[in-house]
Structure 1
Amino acid sequence: MIKTLLFFFILSTGLLFSQKSNTLLSFSFEEAYKLQEKEKKPLVVFFHTKWCKYCFAMKKSTFMDKKVIDLLNQNFYFITFDAESTDTLKIKDKTFKNKSGIHEIVEILASRDNTISYPTTVILSANNTIDEQIDSFISATEIHEILTTYITKSHSN
């Protein structure tokens, strides 16, 4: 009986740890900037809406991939943000709000030629400059390649 209980305890502990490592850590803008004060890492920001089917597909496929999750958790601070959010953000003494249905932070980080597409994934350097802006669906394989190349380039500089 004790051996059986011990076996189930070890099995359940292993399952808990494996589930935890398969979880993508996601932060708010405020949390990510605070974390950057302690450890400088680039940010990956995923802008989406509730009605966007490609955004939903990325959430369910791209950001559920174990290799992508490991890469993001180890090398970046990941932020997922609803572009139509009505939340007020306070980042480094600046306030950002929703203006006419689209959040100001989205207009600043995700617009290209005064147009915003969903989904948009943005990579911000550890110094918070826009390094990459991808305004389309990205598969797990594609984002893994983009992030791996980004890490390699940033380590060589």
Structure 2
Amino acid sequence: MRIRVFALSAVIFLATSAFIINDDKKEIKWLSIEEAYKLNQKEPRKIFIDVYTDWCGWCKKMDRDTFSDPEVAKFVNENFYAVKMDAEDQDKIILAQDTTTQQMLARSMGVSGYPTIVYMKEDFKTIHVVPGYQKADAFLKNLESVLEWE
């Protein structure tokens, strides 16, 4: 009887562990810009920033169709720090002892429409700014090409 209970417990544990591990790959791990900055100090990676607004319909479509794609999520989580940045947010943030806002950062990156994806190097210098909605396959191609930038 003990062996059956142990075996059943082991099967349940493994099944739930696999679900948790796989679930982690199905969704992008979104960070704030401050979190990405701190993580990047310890483990440098390229960064992509989804610059959006709450009222933007295409931003919501990109969340629903592109960012929820399992292949996109897996690739992003393995290779990038992913940041969500509200282009209208005026709350103060501190990056490398500089005080700014998400709104000011978006403007300084040249963002003028939504959604816009900003790709950045590990040193937080902008690589490329891509305005507009992107389907999952096109977005994946952009992500792959950004990894090749030095």
> Does the 8 Å contact 1:83/1:106 carry over to 2?
yes
Question: Does 2:10 match 1:14?
Answer: no
Question: Does 2:73 match 1:69?
Answer: yes
Match of 2:93 in 1: 89
Q: Number of aligned residue pairs: give it.
A: 146
- Which runs of 5 or more structure 1 residues have no equivalent in the other structure? none
Question: Does 2:120 match 1:132?
Answer: no
Q: C-alpha separation between the residues in 2 aligned to 1:34 and 1:5? A: 39
Q: CA-atom RMSD, angstroms?
A: 1.7
Question: Does 2:43 match 1:39?
Answer: yes
* TM-fit CA distance, 1:5: 4.8
Question: Does 2:52 match 1:56?
Answer: no
* TM-fit CA distance, 1:147: 0.9
* TM-fit CA distance, 1:4: 4.6
> Does the 8 Å contact 1:48/1:81 carry over to 2?
yes
Please report the TM-score for the alignment, with normalisation by the length of structure 2: 0.88
* TM-fit CA distance, 1:6: 4.2
Alpha carbons of 1:51 and 1:58: their partners in 2 closer, same or farther (altered >3 Å)?
A: same
Match of 2:139 in 1: 143
- Which runs of 5 or more structure 2 residues have no equivalent in the other structure? none
Secondary structure in structure 2 of the residue aligned to 1:95: strand
| CA shift digits 1:62-109 (9 cap, x unpaired) | 1111111121111111100111113211111211137xxxx1111011
Secondary structure in structure 2 of the residue aligned to 1:14: helix
Residue identity over aligned pairs, in percent, reads: 23
Alpha carbons of 1:13 and 1:39: their partners in 2 closer, same or farther (altered >3 Å)?
A: closer
Secondary structure in structure 1 of the residue aligned to 2:129: strand
Match of 1:26 in 2: 30
Please report the TM-score for the alignment, with normalisation by the length of structure 1: 0.84
Q: C-alpha separation between the residues in 2 aligned to 1:21 and 1:43? A: 17
Match of 1:107 in 2: 107
Q: C-alpha separation between the residues in 2 aligned to 1:97 and 1:9? A: 44
